[in-house]
Chains A and B, each alone.
Chain A
Amino acid sequence: MLSGAEMVVRALQDEGVEYIFGYPGGAVLHIYDALFQQDTVNHILVRHEQAATHAADGYARSTGKPGVVLVTSGPGATNAITGIATAFMDSIPMVVLSGQVRSDWIGDDAFQETDMVGLSRPIVKHSFMVRDPRQIPDMIKKAFYIASTGRPGPVLVDIPKDHTAPHNTFPYEYPKKVKMRSYAPVTRGHSGQIRKAVDELLKAKRPVIYAGGGVIQGEASEALTALARKLNFPVTNTLMGLGAYPGTDEQFLGMLGMHGTYEANMAMHNADVILAAGARLDDRVTNNTKKFCPGAKIVHIDIDPASISKNVAAHIPIVGPVGQVLDEMLAMLDEQGSVGTDTKSLERWWQEIAGWREVHGLRFETNEQGPMKPQQVVQALYKATKGDAYITSDVGQHQMFAAQYYLYDRPRRWINSGGLGTMGFGLPAAMGVQFAHPDAVVACVTGEGSIQMNIQELSTCLQYGLPIKIININNQALGMVRQWQDMQYGGRHSQSYMESLPDFVKLAESYGHVGMMVEKIEDLDSAMEEAFALKDRLVFMDIYVDPTEHVYPMHIADGSMRDMWLSKTERT
């Protein structure tokens, strides 16, 4: 016989949960008491509930397992909203348990009451409100199941305090299976459609594989890589898909989209067949959809039927798990013996691509006397970590540089908020990653704007001894905002620069960590080495860079994929 609170904890144990990220408060005190009396589920105490959601999110992105969050009612729950929305936009599996006021007070504007189910409704995959403690095991089981199957996403379970009361106990049984007549995610793509797609791919003269975050979520990187190699097709990844195909591979064109490489965007624009795998053709990729890839037939694989033909019509839609669909494509190719692509045309296509590569879209000017460039910082980071770190990032120019200049060879190594673009994501996400991979090198690439949105987590990092390396690319500006103001608002820098920055070195030190300041390019490599040699310490590297630098290439607003600025003065 267990109380509701004990059932919550037992269900988490039965679900195999290692870590939950949370913050206590009145409505969840019974649950916290039950947590105290066991030691299989480790509770990580953050310093702000937003950080709990991002940490759970980082845990989920780096492992594929759902991240778990526990917050109290009212302000605890509302603080979690940004992190839930962040996970929702990037389809990250997450289970959020929120406390609620006692059930007979709901609706009376009780102390710390918020309608969390209502507030979170547009940013969750699903939500539950516990109406009877006996529902707890079943609801938690369903929450994990829904969060992690089909197109993953956050699921909320709102738990009124009285339903966790210690004196009310009930028999407990954790369901072995989930039965839901109204939820049946697709498990296979339609073979007829897959056949059609393969035929189209084999006929292609100028193909591109465009792979997104779905390939990572769907554990389909191997299948994708095998298919691309078998067909000898060029591959581009979205911001969310980096690492789905190895970044150092010859067939890789780099990221595509708003800040994609010249060659990736040119190849897309000129393609005759595009295989969009686990990508959703969103506005940061397509530019103006009316001008998007005019000559291309689009084969679109996605587990979510609503993603298909939402922004751009697909010629061959395939609804299914991207891994299974790619595997079936590979099997079809194997069956027919010789692959049978149009190798002559492909050769010509690769030559054309080689020409675009020579344009060197990813270039920047350095100046011996002047300040260091942000791109150099990411290059130095790549060198110092031998390309083998988990990199989380915040949002802004530094994020784009980290996407462009760090080459991700494996999935789940690049962890950023792509869909929502949440400043403040980087540090707490890095915590989640470090918990999941205690021996791995984890670095958070951030900016002096973003880091201040969840800087309090330095305290959490001290408590749990997380040796994260914070790479603060300090351009003394909200750089991405400033760039848009330079380009579209006549250089009027309305509220985009940061006055009165803290002394980040002292700040890090006061939180018990190591702080380092780097101002000269000559010191960069050695400073990085020094920082990464401190294996069991958090190091905050405050690196001053050129505040006037822009991210290029950059799509020219409202144009096609091939319309790009390549520098402040050159455009296509």
Chain B
Amino acid sequence: MRRIISILMENEPGALSRVVGLFSQRGYNIETLTVAPTEDETLSRLTMTTTGDEKKIEQITKHLNKLIEVVKLVDLTEGAHIEREIMLMKVKATGAQRAEVKRTVDIFRGQIVDVTATVYTVQLTGTTDKLEAFIAAIGETQVLEVVRSGVSGISRGEKVLSL
């Protein structure tokens, strides 16, 4: 089961290493991890995706909650939510490929944000599935470099994760 866990934690040195350390120490895996300060500068928001069965996820959330710096935590996948990842990609774009790449970018509603005679730099936002579909559509042989932000997420509707 893939889960998106969203955490509000004290914006203090060492807090992130405790979260990451917990995962390696207890043999949990982190697939993606994003972290940045929030509008309240004393707090940072951390989003991670992980996989595991029900029991493992329960242990993960319990242990995260035990960390002193973790203020609040929500498993976004338990309810309706929105998830996004941003990807920047350099694609070979020469000859006939140029038009083809452009068309695929348009279909996926991406943007070409930088251009050279042989390379397009593409920006694409979406769910993890969408980004993977895009990579597949472009074709691995065309791809020169990929950088992904990791998943960010927020719940739908009126529910908010705040103090």
Contacts and interface: CB of A to CB of B under 8 A. Distances in A.
Contact of B71 (A125, A126, A182, A304): A182
A310 interface: yes
B63 interface: yes
Contact of B14 (A129, A146, A310): A129
Given A121-B18, A125-B68, A309-B55, 14 more contacts: A118-B17, A121-B21, A122-B21, A126-B68, A129-B14, A182-B9, A182-B10, A182-B69, A182-B70, A182-B71, A305-B62, A306-B63, A309-B58, A310-B59
Interface in A307-333: 309-310
A129 B69 CA distance: 14
Given A309-B58, A310-B59, A181 B163 contact: yes
Interface of B: 9-10, 13-14, 17-18, 21, 25, 55, 58-59, 62-63, 65-66, 68-71, 163
Nearest to B68: A126
B24 to A, nearest CB: 9
Which interface class (under 10, 10 to 19, 20 to 34, 35 or more) fits A?
10 to 19
Contacts of A183: 68
Given A121-B18, A146-B68, A309-B55, A129 B62 contact: no
A315 to B, nearest CB: 15
B13 A304 contact: no
Contacts of A118: 17
Nearest to A180: B68
A180 B69 CA distance: 9
Interface of B is mostly: helix
Contacts of B63: 306
Contacts of A309: 55, 58
Interface in A468-482: none
A22 to B, nearest CB: 24
A117 interface: yes
Contacts of B18: 121
A117 B71 contact: no
Nearest to B70: A182
Nearest to A150: B66
Nearest to A306: B62
A180 B163 CA distance: 13
Q: Top 5 closest A-B pairs, CB basis? A: A306-B62, A182-B71, A126-B68, A122-B25, A305-B62
B7 to A, nearest CB: 11
Nearest to A131: B13
Nearest to B69: A182
A125 B69 CA distance: 11
A125 B68 CA distance: 8
B59 A306 contact: yes
Contacts of A146: 68
Nearest to B163: A181
Contacts of A305: 62, 65-66
Nearest to B21: A121
Nearest to A313: B55
Interface string A104-141: 00000000000001100110011101010000000000
Contact of B13 (A121, A129, A181): A129
Contacts of B71: 181-182
A68 B87 CA distance: 50
B68 A304 contact: no
B75 to A, nearest CB: 15
A160 to B, nearest CB: 13
Contacts of B62: 305-306
Contacts of B55: 309
Contact of A121 (B9, B10, B17, B70): B17
